[in-house]
Structure formats: C-alpha cells, structure tokens
Amino acid sequence: MDSSSLPGVRGHDIDGDAPSMCHREGGSGGMVWSYSAPALQCHDLDGKTLSPSLRKGDCQNQSSLGSDIEKRGGGSDPRAHIFLTQPMTVIHEIAFFIVVATANFTPRSDLGVTSSGQLVWLMAGYGLTGTFILLAGRLGDVYGHKLIFLVGNLWFALFSLIAGLSVYTSRPYAIFLFARIMQGIGPALLVPNAVALLGVTYVPGPRKAMLFAIFGAMAPASAIISPAFTSLLALARWPYAFFALSLLLVFITVAGVFVIPGELSPERARVPRGNFWALCAELDLPGALTGVSGLVFISVSWNQASIHSWRYPYVPVLLAIGILLCLCFIFVEKHARKPLIPLEAINSGVTFVLAAVFCGWGCFGIYIYYIWEFYEILRGASPLLATAMHSPIFVSGIAAAITTGMIIHRVGPAVVMALALLAFTIGTTLIATAPIDQTYWTQTFLCNLIITWGMDLSFPAATLMLSDLVSSEHQGIAASLVTTVVNYSGALALGVAGTVELRVNGGGKDPEHILRGYRGAW
C-alpha cells in the first residue's frame, strides 16, 4: 500500500458539509474520509447556495429526515430511496485501496523492477494526476456532476484493466506505469463530483449525519480490508486484483446510471455549443494546462532523480520547465475570467497553512510507502502478515475521526493542526529509528497508532483555518487547495525520498544498507 496513490483525504463535519462552510460553531462530530473534493457549500431545499450569514451555523438548523430529492418531488422520485441507501462511495473507497495495495511488493518480479526508484514511480505516478482535481470540479459544473462521475469510473475501470494486462506484454513495467498514471485521472474526475452529488442531494439532518458517520467509520476499515483482499488474490496472481477492481468499477458505473439522480440544481454553467473560446474561458483551460503541466514536470523531475540522479541533464531541465510553467500559470490566472485559483485568495496565512499540510502529508506519504517495504523486505513478512501488522490504523483511525469532531470547535483549528504535525513527527521518528530485529509491539506498533492521528486532525483543521483566512467568495477554493496539496505532496515527497534513499543506501547490498536508505527517506 502507498500513500502517493491515495487521492487526498477530505474532512467533513457531522452533517457531511465541509467544515469551512457549515457547522462552524458548536456541535460535534467525527471527521470523515473522502479522497478529494472541493468544499461543499450549504444549500437550501432548492439547491441554491445559502448566503454567507447562514454559513456559521444556520445550516445546521435546517434539519430534515430526507434529501433534496424527497423535498422536491414529495418522495415521488423512485430513485431517491435507492440513492439514499446505496453506499456506493464506500464501495468505491474499498476498491480504491485494492489498487493501492497491489502496487507494492507483489508485482516487483513480474514487472522486471530492479530498483527502489522504479517502484516508487508506481506509487508517485498514480498520485501525480491528482492535480486534475480542480479542473474536474469545473468540468462537473459545466457538464453535470453525474456525467463526470460516471466518466471517471469508466476511465478508472479501463486503465485498471490495462494495468492488470501489462504483465502479459513484452514491456510490463512501462505499460503498468502508464496505466497507473492514467488511472489517477479517474479518481480525480469522479471523487469531487461524487461528493458534490451527495452535497446537493442531502440537506443537513439525521440521515445525512448517519451517512457520513458510516462513511467515516468505513475508511480506516478499508485500509485493512483491501490489502487483505488483495493479498489473497495475489496468492493466485496479482493482476487478478486489478481485474476485480475493473469489474467492480463497471458495475458501479452501470448502477450509477440508474440510481444516481440527475442534476438537482438548474444553475449549472451554460456554455454555447460550438463556441470553443467560451468553453476555454469557462473551464479556464489555459490555467489548467499550465498549472497541471507545471506540477507534473516538477514531480517527474524529482521522481526521475530517484532513478537516474541529477547527473542526467534532462532531469534538471524538466524541473526548470515545471517552474516556468508554474510562473506562466500565475500570469494566466491574473487575467482569467474564471480562474481555477483566484490569486487574491492567496495570502501569507494561506501559504503557511498549505505548506504545513504539504509537509505533514508528504511525510505521511513517505511513511506509508516505506513501511510496507520495511515489513516485507527487511522483516520478511508476507503480504497478509504485513496487513495484520498495519491493522492498528483501523481502530486508531476511527478514534481519531471521532475525537477530531469533538475537540476542533473547542480548542480551535490552530491547536488541532499543531497536534496533527506533532503526530506526523512522532510517528515518523518512531519508525525511522526502529531496528530490524526489534519486536513489532514497540516502536512499529506505536507508530501505526500515532501517525494516523496526523491525517484525521490535519485536514479539517487546515480547512477551517483557510476558511478564516479567505473571504466569503473564496470559501469553495479553500478546501480545494487543501485537497490538491494533499494529493500532490505524496507524489513529490516520494520523489525526494527516493533521491535521498539512492544517495545513502550504498547500493542496497545488504539489509543494513537497505535500512539506512529507508531511514534516510523517512
């Protein structure tokens, strides 16, 4: 399992709304995991965005036992009950972790992987395309969230199938890596639009609270269930896990056609047909092209450096191109009619919070990748035993989710963020100093218990802090920025960690040198 493959985690309050938008004062609830989604706003029963004056608590007064669908149609829409009781996002979350778990130790020999740097790319490549998240949300606004959600599932299914078939080709590593990179676009398309569908379907109330509470409780469980399921399939052959995922995604897509309601809000952006320039302006395609490309080039340069080092001229050239494209992105956004990231929303406070999130989640990305290597390569654990070793995150994750909701409105998001960074630091320090032959029940066990709290504490804290730092018209972009940083930090951090590992592991000649490389990465 790896964290760079993890699309970003998203926090919600007990009513399922982004904490920056609703339930800001009072109330309690647990943090809920979702992979990456722009901040949801409070909606009235007609799906219209509520005024800023209602965002600080009035939304919670709109208690309802039903959904927007039921309110609109008086319960006449036959799809409403099916959609309300269909835990499709939870199933998809488990499916996602299946792919995450498979891209670890098992396919190494089948793919002809000869270095740790190549293996890192299999993780980082997936998270790399998480930079499409901001554009995906805009696509949903223009073409409809349901359509983009279904397209994202089909995309994910197609490249999951290709990933599984790669082992039967003459160049398995290249094909598998290509499929992994393209896979990442699928969740980037479907997850923000899936959460948007939930956001406009449910009004705050007991049903919505129950749905997101169950969702939050299932997330830590999926991190254990899916590796276990994958390990069982790998006993036959690891591609079967990708085939199973592809079939599951196709099933979800077909079911979604019938059970997901159509667009509930009539306020979708309208673009004249055949007007390419109007479409470019509405989607901010120049901004998306320069911004996404710049981030991709920067990440590619660091991940290639972990394989070939910086001595190869093309590696620093890629880095320079990425920086130039990011500068072009800033220029484009200053003049865009509908920018993906309004630059006036970025100030020193926002930059500081995003930097803290980047460091914390980058640290977690390095931890989650190398700890599985540590289990299987240095301690000789089988995939199933490694899954068992990792199981404490299930209980710890649920406890952290509940605790976050209980304390964040009492002590404030800044304190919670500090605790999150402390959890990341302590957890990483514990595993980075653990000897190979030490019993699991000391440093490794404590690391798994503690570092999980960093995730569940940091995301809602960052979202709330950004909410306080930006103006009301930029509330939506606040959580989107956090989500994008969470996704991208894992991909970039793994490249940096792989470069350090390559420098200090002495060629990985024996377990001691391998451990030295892992510790350097941590």
pLDDT digit string, tens, across residues 477-512: 665 677 778 778 877 888 888 888 888 887 777 888
Is 209 among the domain residues?
yes
- Does the pLDDT of residue 151 top 80, yes or no? yes
What pLDDT sits at residue 476?
55
CB-based burial, 61-93: b 16+ in 10 Å, e otherwise: ebebebbbbbbbeeeebeebeebbebebbbbbb
Is 122 among the domain residues?
yes
Residues 6+ apart with CB under 8 A from 218: 87, 90, 93, 94
Q: Among positive and negative, which fits the CA dihedral 328, 334, 338, 340?
A: positive
Report the candidate in 84, 450, 469 with the shortest Cα–Cα distance to residue 261: 84
- Does the pLDDT of residue 333 top 80, yes or no? yes
Please identify which residue in the block is written with the tokens 């007609």: 46
Report the candidate in 17, 60, 59, 58 with the shortest Cα–Cα distance to residue 39: 17
For residues 345 and 182, which has the higher predicted lDDT (pLDDT)?
A: 182
What pLDDT sits at residue 237?
74
- Does the pLDDT of residue 147 top 80, yes or no? yes
Is 5 among the domain residues?
no
For residues 288 and 68, which has the higher predicted lDDT (pLDDT)?
A: 288
For residue 49, the SS3 value is: strand
Check if the beta carbon of residue 22 is closer than 8 Å to that of residue 55.
yes
Please compute the mean of the pLDDT values over residues 402-426 and round it to a whole number: 83
pLDDT digit string, tens, across residues 342-353: 777 777 777 888
What is the domain range of residue 168? 84-284+337-521
Domain total for the chain? 1
pLDDT band at 63 (very low <50, low <70, confident <90, very high): very low
pLDDT digit string, tens, across residues 253-291: 888 888 777 655 445 555 556 677 777 777 788 888 898
pLDDT band at 365 (very low <50, low <70, confident <90, very high): confident
Is 499 among the domain residues?
yes
Is 162 among the domain residues?
yes
pLDDT digit string, tens, across residues 226-253: 666 766 776 677 788 888 888 988 988 8
- Does the pLDDT of residue 437 top 80, yes or no? yes
State what percent of residues in the chain have pLDDT above 90: 7
- Which of 168-177, 409-418, 440-449, 479-488 is the least confident region? 479-488
Q: What is the CATH number of the domain that holds 175?
A: 1.20.1250.20
